[in-house]
Chains A and B, each alone.
Chain A
Amino acid sequence: MTGHPHVGVTDAFLGMPKFQTVAKVELANSVQRRNLAHATGVIRGKRAAVVDELENWEELRLAAEAIKDVALRRLDEHLEEFEANAIAAGAVVHWARDAEEANRIVVDLVRAEGASEVVKVKSMATQEIELNEALAAAGIDAWETDLAELIVQLGDDWPSHILVPAIHRNRAEVREIFLREMGKVGRPAPQDLTDEPRRLAEAARLHLRDKFLRAKVAVSGANFAIADTGSLVVVESEGNGRMCLTLPETLISVVGIEKVLPSWRDLEVFLQVLPRSSTGERENPYTSMWTGPGAGDGPRNVHIVLLDNGRTRVLADPKGRDALRCIRCSACLNVCPVYERTGGHSYGSVYPGPIGAVLTPQLRGTSSDIDKSLPYASSLCGACFDVCPVRIDIPSMLVHLRTRVVDESRGGMPSGEQLVMKAGGWMFADHRRLEAAGKAAAGAGKVLRSKRMGGKQVLRSLPWPASGWSGARDAPVPPTESFRAWWQRTGGGHEEDGHE
């Protein structure tokens, strides 16, 4: 894994260009645009169908929101309860302040087992800490076993979607990657491989089977950590996760501290909302739950690494903390018109889309170009909030983070934008200033609409700060009279000919 930039929540992400710069390149990738429009459209349709069939969907959302809020409000207590119960069940619990600490714990555990490779269950937390890179630096191979993660890893690419990491690839591209890359790291793909989904899945299955049977150590994340039982829960579709969770002798799970649910019973709500929101299924095919090591079956050593990595800082912000409710379903990505067009790589983070735009700048801070630009990577259309199963008001949170970005920029030499905004704020404090501006606009309108100027109805190019508008869009010519001037001239329209 060398060809992609650092997009985790580590110290290495700095230097990523801002959203707009990457988006401009991604927008020009018409194959990717088509792949994304098709794929998000299909998932959107499936989600809508399985959500619409539930009469109590809104109640489920409210319940999910409430449970997560309760969990977060007393997070410290729930985490300690989880730890105590996990230890009682025979698990070893580790606490990691940040990515570096978590990676060190995992590397040491793998080394202690004498292993030189691990198989991995799809996990956002381990991507966030760039665990694969840390393992590689320690001479340990990490094999992704989720089909889409495998495609991404073999292609020396990086995920562009939380749930469907290779969503930007079509099956013809997947076939090429398999043919070219599988042989370099294990069992090669059959030479007569076609781009039929069945054949591609078969090639992946055969390639991965060797690794499942050989590996001594598996690394996973978790969808939920249950405080009152000390259990972990992984929800997946393929069964490859189940292989990793049951075959190797040692299982290491890296779990963000916000994954805790107070009670086993809370799963009743989350196992309904998660599959419907994520894959558009009523029930996901594989749900694995474990509480320490099992007697005579499954891994003998169960380790749990509880990861903070910026989460307590997010929790400290009353307006930003709701982002910690996120259960990584990706429904917001699939409905987002910005994500659909720019793709996940524009967001410069393992967390793309609307949730990434609010989560990444909170986890990493708002000091870099990319993290300053992320809160602005939205038209604030609100589609994300409508589908969010834990009711995160992403549009309001984006505005909150924009305010933070602006507030942090105050005090130095004012930028052009700051000057424009300051002037605007001054103008709207008093209607007489607006009236003067209206007269100036109407004067310009009269000139532009005059015969001498060719009777312009629209403008094809505008000067800064409006030049960004007119690249592809005509701009309206101001009217010859503002509304308020008309109102004053005609006594509220009563003295106007032809109407009243």
Chain B
Amino acid sequence: MSRQMTVALFATCYNDMMWPETPKAVVRLLRRLGCEVEFPVEQTCCGQMFTNTGYADEALPAVRNFTATFSGYDAVVAPSGSCVGSIRHQHRDIAARAGDRQLEDDVVALSPRVYELSEFLVDVLGVTDVGAHFPHRVTYHPTCHSLRMLRVGDRPLQLLKAVRGIDLVELAGAEQCCGFGGTFAMKNADTSVAMGSDKARAVRETGAEILVAGDNSCLAHIGGLLSRQRSGMRVMHLAEILATTDDGAA
């Protein structure tokens, strides 16, 4: 484990614009664990929304921007399994389609150094107890791209189990998709909501106060349903729980 390592934070465009507390939590957490955190301001987006909707040409500027912005770093950390999944599994295809060999080579060189938060904490820093304190009843939803594209496995649960005071309860059918699916949530809104409603019911039946996950996009979908249902439940990104300490800084 190399303390004092420099980490580039890829906030992701969605967190940057809509959920700034999540990347702020990542900054606090990584500094607490001894990392130097940089935020290269040239960063924009991973391009996943374009790629997954079929707009490969429109994804290209984002892929170029990401590769140019982060190629100089040894480690890039993002609080989103989905965005990291896109970087590791789709950027190369976008570069290849553009016929840009240099970009393709750069993507291949960079993408193994891009980590989802729980991967970085457990695999690179080698920690599961990050010194967090969070005395609440919590249930965890493993998001699909973390689970099936990145294979993060139980890393987020290892991290959550080590949080002091937490009451972690199991979510039935946890590995079933919540129905967000990017533009699927709007292009197939009825199906997306049907899937999300089943997920929201399972979440409510846990009796937890808070639903936690590693992707704010999925959480906005499930949270949007829970809010419309006046469920009284909150959703929170994994980073925000892990960043919370006895001082109450969350």
A: residues with CB less than 8 A from B are: 19-20, 23-24, 27, 337-338, 341-342, 375-383, 385-386, 396, 399, 402-407, 417, 421-422, 424-431, 434, 437-438, 441, 458, 460, 465-466, 468-469, 471-476, 478-479, 481-484, 486-488, 492-493, 498-500
Contact = CB atoms under 8 A, between A and B. Distances in A.
Given A403-B54, A472-B225, A431 B20 contact: no
B143 to A, nearest CB: 9
A338 B189 contact: no
Given A379-B195, A382-B144, A473-B196, A484 B16 contact: yes
Contacts of B174: none
A407 B53 CA distance: 11
B187 A376 contact: yes
B23 A483 contact: yes
Contact of B52 (A380, A383, A466, A475): A380
B13 interface: yes
Nearest to A319: B93
19 contacts: A23-B188, A23-B190, A27-B190, A337-B177, A341-B194, A341-B195, A379-B192, A381-B148, A382-B145, A382-B147, A399-B51, A425-B61, A428-B61, A458-B227, A468-B186, A473-B221, A483-B24, A484-B41, A492-B38
A238 to B, nearest CB: 31
Nearest to A425: B58
A428 B184 contact: no
B140 to A, nearest CB: 17
A492 B15 CA distance: 16
B162 to A, nearest CB: 22
A406 B55 contact: yes
Contacts of B71: none
A403 B93 CA distance: 12
A405 B42 CA distance: 32
Most buried by B among A27, A402, A431: A431
A421 B53 CA distance: 9
B56 interface: yes
A170 to B, nearest CB: 20
A341 B43 CA distance: 39
Given A24-B190, A399-B90, A469-B186, 14 more contacts: A337-B177, A342-B194, A377-B191, A381-B181, A385-B148, A386-B148, A407-B54, A421-B50, A421-B58, A422-B58, A425-B57, A458-B224, A473-B224, A479-B21
Contacts of B56: 403, 406-407
B182 interface: yes
A471 B65 contact: no
Counting contact residues on chain B (CB < 8 A from A), the size range is 35 or more
Interface of B: 11, 13, 15-21, 23-24, 27-28, 31, 37-39, 41-45, 47, 49-62, 64-65, 89-90, 144-145, 147-149, 175-177, 179-182, 184-198, 220-221, 223-225, 227-228, 249
A383 B147 CA distance: 10
Nearest to A478: B18
A465 B220 CA distance: 17
Given A20-B187, A376-B184, A493-B24, A474 B16 contact: no
A337 B39 contact: no
Nearest to A484: B16
Contacts of B16: 434, 438, 482-484
Nearest to B57: A425
A429 B44 contact: yes
Contact of B188 (A376, A402, A405, A481): A376
B28 A493 contact: yes
B11 A484 contact: yes
Contacts of A424: 49-50, 58
A376 B60 CA distance: 21
B195 A337 contact: yes
Contacts of A403: 54-56
A82 B45 CA distance: 52
A425 B50 contact: yes
B188 A377 contact: yes
Contacts of A23: 188, 190-191
A421 B39 contact: no
A337 B179 contact: yes
Nearest to B90: A399
Contacts of B221: 473
B45 A434 contact: yes
Most buried by B among A375, A458, A483: A483
Contacts of B60: 425
A376 B181 CA distance: 10
A24 B193 CA distance: 11
A431 B61 contact: no
B224 A406 contact: no
A499 B186 contact: no
A473 B225 contact: yes
A378 B188 CA distance: 9
B181 A380 contact: yes
A130 to B, nearest CB: 27
Given A337-B179, A379-B195, A488-B41, A474 B227 contact: yes
B24 A486 contact: yes
A431 B42 contact: yes
Nearest to A376: B187
Contact of A379 (B13, B19, B38, B180): B180
Given A438-B17, A472-B193, A473-B196, A421 B188 contact: no
Contact of A479 (B20, B37, B184, B194): B20
Given A23-B191, A468-B189, A380 B182 contact: yes
Contacts of A458: 224, 227
Most buried by A among B49, B90, B190, B197: B190
B185 A469 contact: yes
A378 B177 CA distance: 10
A466 B188 CA distance: 12
Contacts of A471: 189, 193
Contacts of A500: 28, 31
A69 B90 CA distance: 23
- Name the 3 nearest CB pairs between A and B, nearest first: A379-B181, A473-B224, A425-B58
B119 to A, nearest CB: 17
Contact of B27 (A378, A478, A482, A492): A492
